[in-house]
Amino acid sequence: MASFEISNSGLVSWVDEMKRLCKPDSVVLYRGTKEEYDRLADLLVSVGTFRRLNPQLRPNSFLANSDPADTARVEEKTFICSRTQDDAGPSNNWVDPGEMKSRLTKLFDGSMQGRTMYVVPYLMGPQGSPYARVGVELTDSAYVVLNMSLIARTGRPALDALEANAEFVRCLHSCGRSATQSACYAKTWPCDPERMAIVHFPEERLVWSYGSGYGGNALLNKKCFALRIASCIARDEGWLAEHMMILSVTNPQGRKKYIAGAFPSACGKTNLAMVKSSLPGWRVKTVGDDIAWMHFASDGRLYAINPEAGFFGVAPNTSSSSNSNAMATFTRDTIFTNCALTPDGDVWWEGIGYDAPAGTIDWTKQCRDSSETSSVLSGCKKDPLCHPNARFTTSAAHCPCMDEDWENPNGVPISAILFGGRRSSTIPLVCEARSWTHGVFLGANLSSETTAAAAGQVGRLRRDPFAMLPFCGYNIGDYFAHWISMGSNLTRKLPKIYQVNWFKKDSDGHYLWPGYADNMRVLKWIFERCEGKYEVRSTALGGLPYPEDLDAVGLKISSTDLQNLLTVNASELVPEIDSMRNHLNAMGPRVPATLFRELAAMEENCART
Ligand code: GTP
Ligand code: SPV
Ligand code: MN
């Protein structure tokens, strides 16, 4: 370790200990330089994990195709091993930390043999921000190193902080090794699907992840640190670590407001954060697309930083018409995972806006033997060519719509908070909470039809409180109480809270709302509500816009459909209330009584209308 020239004694001894456990062939410090990035990318090309895309079409970009058994977060294999089961709460898998350590020690023992252990220091948050935090990931995956290098601030800023003996979150990751994995995938995408375990020890600010090389299972800075561990730190220190995008809206007069929004995985955060306004004179810019760390400052306002430095975004359905800013961001220097490959060496996915050229190879065909060389023609095969959770990994530096203040060390002041999910019925396009506590009630009951971002069934309705069900690192009842307490200081200027739903469907199963650029119309109404404009129509769910107040100029939608979007139907609310009650009960005895009072009030309101 002396060759690392790092004096942080905690880091030196931890790396030594983990090296003795995992037994890598060598240990390499990643300093975040372009030379190291290029060298590792070349290495991944040489072993077949990466395919270099056509440099004329997509300079310095790569396609990786994962083992089909390792394509998304594995929630059943994710654990919060706090000292007591009560502290993990009813929404998390829990095993006694001592027992889990001894189980995992067996898996990590020698797991890096024949591989390099990379030491990746990174900073979460803008350089110089008092709210930024340091993490170090030890990983045997060069793919992980390169992804982290695009989405986090690796190298210098973190090394400087470590030299100054900063505290850091320890993240250990190994792809592991499965006896049953096919030889070709074992070479290009090592993993151990049968024994995957993504494990958090919150009191120790420690993460151990074994057996998966994909996304949030392996890029431990993201969900593991910035949400699960950070939510525990935030509870202890009085701030919020949230699964939220952050954007700015500027009106035609040049006034700007910042809005944060929690939507479950693959429910529209990236698209909203980068949205191109459909309304003349209105402009949206991006601060972050997935995670917000928020604190109340001395002026009483809530400020947010984006702890990340890039995007790990959903590829399918990203097109020049749905998200041209994302398309412009990943024109170069990007890692694509589980997309299809065109014959001219570019990526393709369903919903990219044009047909797959003849000879396009689907995401599973990357690793093949001589008998399996078939290329797939668009339309000849039922299965999608691109995996539904295929992703692009790219740096915010290339994004054309970043807000001027996205790296402001103090963060940006939040005027409104949105909660949204995929609900084909019941939930209107937008609805305003009556108070902070009512907003917390709406957040605590947030629900969505499940998506491909997590392994398991897609399209099943589930409650996903604050879009944090898979990411809250402690007892969810305590988390609700923490949110309520954040709003109980009367000197604070609290953001307004809204529930939104871009996904309501008509009886034929078509989306009622065009979404994407037209979501600007909802942002405009919210922006102007924050300035005291308009009245709301009071319903059992909250305050709805009067249809004439929602800017519909140029909107191609019938007045019946608009009416449908801006209505809450009492007959739908009755089962909704039952489902909310079941959910709050299932979240255990630590759910604050206030939330049950909100539920009772809603039930009364519903009975009256
Ligand atoms: P994570 O990265 O998993 O946290 O997802 P996310 O919340 O950032 O979701 P993202 O913006 O990537 O969107 C996921 C999927 O929803 C994509 O296929 C989008 O095209 C689709 N989507 C996003 N916004 C809208 C919308 O307004 N309407 C409709 N119909 N689909 C949308
Ligand atoms: C999510 O699932 O919410 C993501 C992708 O943002 S992952 O990083 O894999 O968790
Ligand atoms: Mn996410």
Helices 436-444/476-486 angle, 10° precision: 160
pLDDT (mean) for 514-530: 98
Answer whether 2-51+69-237 and 241-306+406-608 agree in fold: no
| Residue 50 parent element (H or E) | strand 50-52
3-state DSSP helix/strand/coil % of the chain, to nearest 5: 30, 20, 45
pLDDT (mean) for 471-479: 98
Q: Is 268 in the pocket of ligand 1 (CB under 6 A)?
A: yes
Counting ligand 2 atoms within 8 A of each CB, the residue from 70, 71, 73 with the most, and so the one to mutate, is: 73
- For residues 454 and 73, the answer to whether their CB atoms sit within 8 Å is yes
- Catalytic-role residue among 81, 191, 267, 401: 267
Domain ranges of the chain: 2-51+69-237, 241-306+406-608
Q: Is 82 in the pocket of ligand 1 (CB under 6 A)?
A: no
User: What gap in Å lies between CA 143 and CA 426, rounded to an integer?
Assistant: 42
Task: Supply angle C-alpha 458, 460, 465, rounded to 5.
Answer: 110
* Residue ranges lining ligand 2, Cβ < 6 Å: 73, 215-216, 222-223, 265, 290, 312, 453
pLDDT band at residue 4 using 50, 70 and 90 as cut-offs: low
Query: Among all chains, which residue has been given the structure tokens 């001395």?
Result: 298
Residues in the chain: 609
Q: Is residue 232 annotated as a catalytic residue, yes or no?
A: no
DSSP codes, 506-532: -TTS-BSS--GGGHHHHHHHHHHHHTT
Sign of the dihedral through C-alpha 24, 25, 30, 34: negative
Instruction: For residue 354, give every residue at least 6 positions away whose Cβ sits within 8 Å of its Cβ, in sequence order, or none.
Output: none
Of the candidates 396, 410, 412, 126, the residue with the CA atom closest to the CA atom of residue 256: 412
Q: Which tens digit of pLDDT belongs to each residue from 530-569?
A: 999 999 999 999 999 999 999 999 999 999 999 999 999 8
pLDDT band at residue 382 using 50, 70 and 90 as cut-offs: low
291 alpha carbon, closest ligand: 3
pTM of this structure: 0.97
222 alpha carbon, closest ligand: 2
Instruction: For residue 89, give every residue at least 6 positions away whose Cβ sits within 8 Å of its Cβ, in sequence order, or none.
Output: 472, 474, 475, 476, 477, 478, 587, 588, 590
Q: Which CATH number is associated with domain 2-51+69-237?
A: 3.40.449.10
Q: What would be the CATH architecture of the domain defined by 241-306+406-608?
A: Alpha-Beta Complex (3.90)
pLDDT band at residue 490 using 50, 70 and 90 as cut-offs: confident
Q: Which tens digit of pLDDT belongs to each residue from 565-598?
A: 999 988 899 999 999 999 999 999 999 999 999 9
Strands 292-296 and 447-449: unpaired
Instruction: Inform me whether the pLDDT recorded for 1 exceeds 80.
Output: no
DSSP codes, 137-169: EEES-HHHHHHHHHHSEESHHHHHHHHTT--EE
- For residues 39 and 148, the answer to whether their CB atoms sit within 8 Å is no
Residue 46, number of CB atoms within 10 A of its CB = 9
User: What gap in Å lies between CA 32 and CA 40, rounded to an integer?
Assistant: 11
